[in-house]
Amino acid sequence: MTSADVRPDGTVPFRATLGRSAGLFAAFRAEQSDPARFYGTLARDTVAQLRSYTPLDGRLVVDVGGGPGYFADELRAAGARCLCVDSDAHEMRLHGREADTHGIQGSALELPLRSGAVDVCFSSNVLEHVPDRARMADEMVRVTRPGGLVYLSYTLWLSPWGGHETSPWHYLGGSYAAERFARRHGRRPKNDFGRTMYAAHAGETLRWVRGRTDVEPVDIRPRYLPGWAKPVVRVPVLREFVTWNLLLVLRRLG
Ligand SMILES: C[S@@+](CC[C@H](N)C(=O)[O-])C[C@H]1O[C@@H](n2cnc3c(N)ncnc32)[C@H](O)[C@@H]1O
């Protein structure tokens, strides 16, 4: 990218091409063997995408459920000041990484931040892990300043990866898939249905957006899919299966 690519409002164009989706999928296949490669690739892609909605230089960004801080690294590389909030100290040290220097242990359901404190409230792949999704989304809006942005993205339950490591058996029921995993591996899955993973749908979050008067949608799209797949989020039922990961970019109104 050159300075000529930067738009007058400080945002940067981002192209959701088929090649980009294929690259993300290839990196995803290496998640277990080379997590740093996968999460580093995903974080670079995500921050490039985020910059198409908002400039990041000097902005205060909170990464809700940021885990070991791959996204925080990229957000800082893009000039943002970044805080990570995560409820699990172990997750903050995953893959042998040091806990983020600006990491706070706290819950997405009760963010330890004052209202309107941040320019961007960011969360990747966390909403499906909390028992009260509307409350987490409410909290993300609360801590975002008027004019600021909420970037909220999560894996849909009915997508092929909805059951995470218990997929595709989640299509026969989350409890069944978790029990099957436990029998086969001699341990509970990390993403354990009803305990650390829940059935998150697109329809409920879209209804939540429509029910709020203090946010306006900037973009709602399948996060990883090519741009031409975007209309699928408007098709009830089908969207739950093929969107894979739903991204909502919302502007907080004054
Ligand atoms: C699948 S990981 C996602 C990590 C990172 N955001 C990413 O996209 O790679 C889910 C993260 O959410 C965190 N988490 C789960 N429930 C949470 C809660 N109630 N409050 C804050 N963080 C939570 C977990 O500890 C974990 O780090």
91-103 residue pLDDT tens: 887 777 777 777 8
pLDDT band (50, 70, 90) for residue 153: very high
Q: What is the pTM of this model?
A: 0.95
Residue 1 has pLDDT above 70, yes or no: no
Asked whether the predicted pLDDT for residue 7 surpasses 70, the reply is yes
From ligand 1's centre to the CA of 200, what distance in Å?
A: 14
Residue 61 and residue 80 in contact, taking contact as beta carbons nearer than 8 Å: yes
**Bridge partners, residue 215, by sequence:** 252
Ligand 1 atom nearest to 191, measured from its CA: 1
Q: Does 65 score more than 80 pLDDT? A: yes
Residue 117 has pLDDT above 90, yes or no: yes
Mean pLDDT of the chain: 95
Cα(155)–Cα(153) distance, integer angstroms: 7
Question: Which pLDDT score is estimated for 33?
Answer: 87
What is the Cα–Cα distance from 225 to 187, expressed in whole angstroms? 33
CB-based contact 164:198 (threshold 8 Å): no
| pLDDT above 80: residue 2 | no
Read off the pLDDT of residues 16-57 as tens digits, 9 standing for 90 and up: 999 999 999 999 988 888 888 899 999 999 999 999 999 999
Residue 204 CA to ligand 1 centre (angstroms): 20
- Residue 109, pLDDT > 90, answer yes
Portion of the chain with pLDDT greater than 70, in percent = 98
Strand-strand pairing, 81-86 and 60-64? parallel
pLDDT per residue as tens digits for the range 171-211:
999 999 999 999 999 999 999 999 999 999 999 999 999 99
Domain ranges of the chain: 19-156+200-252
C-alpha 159/C-alpha 30 separation (Å) is 19
Residue whose CA lies nearest to ligand 1 atom number 8: 124
Average pLDDT over residues 60-88: 96
Q: In testing the pocket of ligand 1, which one of 46, 123, 126 has its CB within 8 Å of the most ligand atoms?
A: 126
**19-156+200-252, CATH topology level:** Rossmann fold (3.40.50)
Kindly list the protein residues whose Cβ atom lies closer than 6 A to any atom of ligand 1: 39, 65-67, 86-88, 91, 107-109, 124-126, 129-130
